[in-house]
Each structure stands twice: as structure tokens, then as C-alpha cells.
Amino acid sequence: MDKDVSHGGGFFGIMCAMQTVNKDSNDFGEIRREGYVYVDKTAWFHRLASAKGEKMFFLARPRRFGKSLMISTLEAMFKGRRELFEGLAIMDTDWDWKKKYPVIHLNMGMCAAGDYMEFKVSLPKVMKAALERAGVEYDPSELPSMNFGSAIDDLSAKGTPPVILIDEYDDPVAQALKNPDDAERVRDALAPVYRQMKDRSGKIRFLMITGVSKFTQLSVFSALSSLVDISFEDAYASMLGYTEDELDRYFSEHMEAHRKVMKLSAKAYRAEIKRLYNGYRFWRFTGENVYNPVSINLTMANRLPQFELYWAKTGKASFMMNFLKRGDMLAFDPSELNSVSDAVFDVSDLRNIPVVGMLFQAGYLTIKDYKYGLYTLGVPDEEVRQDLSALMSGLVADKDVRWAASIGVTLRLAQWDKFFDGLAALYAGAVYGSTEGKPHELSYARCLKFLLQGQGFRVEQEVSHAGGRTDIVADHPCGTYIFELKVNKPPKVAMSQVQRRKYAAPYRAAGKPVWAVGLSFNGKTRQFKGGAAESVKCKM
């Protein structure tokens, strides 16, 4: 029987005869020793470790995207653990397994940093453990930063420059973001640690730093002028995550087994798995989008008779909820953000982090296009879209209105009185930003769109067809719902427009119920005035 897939989002795959899949480990050695599957990324790691003239790198990726497993793999490479790499791509390279390096592996995600005092107690413990693993004695009378610097000196003096691997370098700051004062104190306390590498680059064989965000005010970026940010480098765009080819190569048997459970054709299954889990882009000019690894892993292992939102279930970025505000979130549509500059990815001011940058760092947005130095951003895939919509629905609805969590049920059951009562409560608590001084239909549609997407509906906004343009079409296996919104006009005007322009015509052939829903809003009070709903018959 197959074991579970790892929740770590690493590079796991399938060997022949439905080989066991890793359970929940980011330890490369454990994965290889236990015979779990490993989607081979070692060619990329060899390229990094052998790059001429470059030896210090920074890589940002969303959570659960395999960063920790990459760090573990690099550690095994530099320690010369050849036995773990048999059969992998790196064995066909010139990598010198006889040359072994001491490794300082700092996992900053292990630092507790709910507030500054907690971090102050935690950092020495994390540093002590890392240095002792590297064979260096920790001096408790010295600061963690001084111990770190001395360790680099001591290891290099023995004749072999150390390899430094810093995983989740930004996690302590992110943990403390709920209190900007604490976050700034944590950041300032980390600065002397990272500064230890400033004048010691000649004593370091290789440096890899990973994280979710780029806090440029952390001294690691200003101190290390030779640090190469490969986060958007085309050559490394597929280094984390799964490509289409890797799905075919490592997961074909598991996909076939799951397809049969789902009772889908091969074409339909592959299309659905791509819609749900593929869409992350980390390249600007030439590259390939990748699948979210943790979602593929768990889908293949569990083989449920339905697709699940696994990435969302593995937890949310803790710092997100402390900064997202209703007005900010309603001021734009995350489906497509045009003309975004590099500045949005630079999270510098801890008191004024831009919401778009925050969403990108957390994995809710990805690159869709890049031209003339500017990015177009959008939601990566359907799984993330639904999770983001659920997150946003919690912001646009009053936290005391339980109806927001059951919007899908009232709609699917055609409980229109409850549905309209809920809308009244929702819009009573809605706040629009300064850019929405005179809200129009789209202003109100945005709230509804987020709520419906969060409940599993496939939602399209401003849908054009022969009869005109529909405000919102929400599709679900239980039915299709056509929404027309009006400001300062009664619901009957909206219903009349749906009928007159035959908005429902493209959906009647699907063989499931179709509903026309008219919603009316007061432009002055910005409140929901009333609604009407009607089952669409053949007369339309």
C-alpha cells in the first residue's frame, strides 16, 4: 500500500510499480534512504554550485514550494554523500565527491518570534544547534552573531571554506509582523548576524539564502554586494515545482490510478489537474510554468474521488492576516494587475507593506506577463483562486455575519430570502476605498465575486456574448447563476435586461438549472436594496 505524500512540497515522485511516496519530510537523506520517490532536480543544483564567478545566491518562493528540501539536498552534495545520489542527474556531471565541505545550515524558520522577547531567547538556541552540527563549539558568553562570524573564521582556517545555507531567512520578521515595533526590532537583531558574511566572502565556498519575501532593509542584501537574486532568473524558473514533463515522467501511474477513481477521461483529468494546480511562473522572458508541488503530492497519494484544495489546507502565511484590510483588497481585482514594477516585490517598510506585494510573496499572485520592465500579475491557478477568494470574503463580510460562510449553500438550494438577507448584511459592512468615490456595478460585483469563488463556484465577470455583457456568471455542478447588478434601479430592470438580451442562452444546453438573479443597490448609501431571482425556462 502506498504511503502518504509529503506535506512539505518537495520534489517527490513515483518509482516503477507505484512506488512509495514520501510522507512528510524535507530531509533529502531520509527520502533517499527510505526509497521514497524524488523528482530529480540535481542538475539545477549542480549548475548553482558550479557557477563560475558566482557563489552567493538568494531565492524567493512561496511557502510549501520545496525550499527546505533544496537546502537539504545541497547540504548532502557539499558533504560528499555520494551514496544518496545514485541514479540522479548529478552523477553524470563533474561534481567532485571526494571534496567535502563543512556546512553551516541555519533554519531560521525554527526561530520562535511571536514577539521580540521570544525571538531574543530563541535565536541563540537555533544558532548553537546549527554551529554544533557544523562541528563548531558555541560560546554562550558571546552574541549569536559573533559566534556565527567566529565559526566561519575557524572553519576556513582549517583549510576548507564552509558552505552556508540559510533557510527561511525572513521567517522571524514575518512572524512578528503583527506588531511592527517587534518586527523592526527582530529585523535589527538579525542584521548583525547576516553582516558577519560581509567581509568574509573569501572564506565562504557557497551561500544559498531562501525565503518568501525580500526584506531589502535586512543587511544581508546591502552587505553582500555579490549576492545574486535568482528568484526571477529564467535559467532557474523550473528549479522548484513540477513541470508538465516531470508529471509525465514521475507521476503517470499515480495519475492513471486517480483518474479511474475520479471516473474521468485522460484528457478531462489532465485538463482539470492543470486548471487547479498549474500556473506559477517565475520567469520573465523564456521558461515554463510549474505545478504547486504539495498539491500534486497529496492529490496523487490520497486519490480521493474529488479534487481538494491541499495548498490552502497546509496553512496560510501567518503575516498575511495582520496586514490585509478590507478597503485595500476591494480596491483592485487580483485576476489581472497590469504595469507592476519591481518595487512591489521589495518589502522594505514593515509598517506600509503594499498589499499586492504581500499577496505575491505569499503565493496568491504570480507573473502572467513581462514587458518593458513591467509585470502583469494574476492568480496562479484555481486552487489558489478559491483560497484567495475565501480569504477575501472574510474581509469583505462583517466578521460577525455567519452567513458569509454559507453563501454557497443558500445559492445552491435557491433559498433566495436567506441569500438576499445575507447580501444586505454583507454590503452593510462593506467599505470601499477612496478610488471608489462613486461605486458602480463593478464595485458591488467585486465583493460578490470573491465570496462565490471562495465557495467553489467558477466565477466570470463581465462576460461578453452575442446578447451583450453579463455582470457575473457563477457556475457550479448544481446550476448556473447569471447576475445582473443595477445601481439606483429596481431588480426588475436587471431581470428584464437578462431576459431581453438572452444572457442565459449560452448556458441552457448544459443540462442543469439556470437562474437569472437581479440585484439592486443604492448609489448614495451604497447598500443593497433588494433582489429578484427566476429560474430560466426555454422561453429565453
Q: What's the pLDDT tens digit per position in 330-376? A: 566 777 788 888 888 777 777 777 788 888 888 899 999 999 899 99
- Residue 114 within any structural domain of the chain: yes
pLDDT per residue over 475-505, tens digit each? 988 899 999 999 999 999 999 998 889 888 8
pLDDT mean over 397-412: 65
By mean pLDDT, which of 32-46, 236-250, 300-314, 347-361 is the weakest? 347-361
Point out the domain boundary residue: 352, 383, 414.
383
Beta-carbon count within 10 A of 92 CB: 10
The whole-number pLDDT of residue 3 equals: 36
| Domain shared by 200 and 95, yes or no | yes
Strand partners of residue 533: 517
pLDDT mean over 6-25: 44
Grid cell in block for residue 495: 431581470
**Percent of residues, the chain, with pLDDT higher than 70:** 84
* pLDDT higher than 70, residue 438: no
pLDDT per residue over 278-321, tens digit each? 999 999 999 999 999 999 989 988 899 999 989 878 766 555 65
Q: Which domain holds residue 440?
A: 400-535
The whole-number pLDDT of residue 404 equals: 60
- For residues 169 and 211, the answer to whether their CB atoms sit within 8 Å is yes
Smallest CA-to-CA distance from 19 within 7, 6, 1 is with 1
| Domain shared by 105 and 229, yes or no | yes
**Confidence grade of residue 401 (pLDDT, cut at 50, 70, 90):** very low
- Residue 51 within any structural domain of the chain: yes
By mean pLDDT, which of 68-82, 222-236, 339-353 is the weakest? 339-353
pLDDT mean over 135-163: 96
Point out the domain boundary residue: 211, 236, 261.
236
- Residue 256 within any structural domain of the chain: no
pLDDT mean over 17-21: 50
| Domain shared by 83 and 231, yes or no | yes
- Residue 394 within any structural domain of the chain: no
**Edge-to-edge strands of the sheet including 458-465?**
458-465, 468-476, 479-487, 514-522, 527-535
| Domain shared by 408 and 507, yes or no | yes
pLDDT per residue over 502-529, tens digit each? 888 888 878 889 999 999 998 887 788 9
Nearest-5° angle of CA 5, CA 11, CA 15? 70
- Residue 444 within any structural domain of the chain: yes
pLDDT mean over 183-212: 91
| Domain shared by 378 and 442, yes or no | no
Nearest-5° angle of CA 57, CA 95, CA 99? 90
How would you classify the pairing of strands 206-211 and 163-167? parallel
Length of the chain (residues): 540
* More confident call, 524 vs 207: 207
- Residue 106 within any structural domain of the chain: yes
* Average confidence score pLDDT of the chain: 84
**Confidence grade of residue 78 (pLDDT, cut at 50, 70, 90):** very high
| Domain shared by 148 and 110, yes or no | yes
- For residues 122 and 107, the answer to whether their CB atoms sit within 8 Å is no
The whole-number pLDDT of residue 360 equals: 87
**Confidence grade of residue 262 (pLDDT, cut at 50, 70, 90):** very high
DSSP string, 229-296: E-TT-GGGTTSSSB-HHHHHHHHHHHHHHHHHHHT--HHHHHHHHHHHHEEE---SSS---EE-HHHH
* pLDDT higher than 90, residue 326: no
* More confident call, 416 vs 439: 416
- Return the CATH number at 441: 3.40.1350.10
* pLDDT higher than 70, residue 2: no
| Domain shared by 445 and 345, yes or no | no
| Domain shared by 165 and 216, yes or no | yes
The whole-number pLDDT of residue 177 equals: 82
Nearest-5° angle of CA 167, CA 168, CA 170? 135
- Residue 474 within any structural domain of the chain: yes
* More confident call, 410 vs 348: 410
* More confident call, 393 vs 271: 271
pLDDT mean over 61-78: 94
The whole-number pLDDT of residue 325 equals: 56
- Pairwise CA distance, residues 287 & 279, whole Å: 12
| Domain shared by 520 and 466, yes or no | yes
* Residue 60, SS3 per DSSP: strand
| Domain shared by 360 and 415, yes or no | no
Point out the domain boundary residue: 192, 213, 236.
236
- Residue 78 within any structural domain of the chain: yes
The whole-number pLDDT of residue 180 equals: 85
| Domain shared by 357 and 477, yes or no | no
The whole-number pLDDT of residue 217 equals: 61
The whole-number pLDDT of residue 449 equals: 83
pLDDT per residue over 161-180, tens digit each? 999 999 999 899 888 888 88
Domain count, the chain: 3
| Domain shared by 55 and 204, yes or no | yes
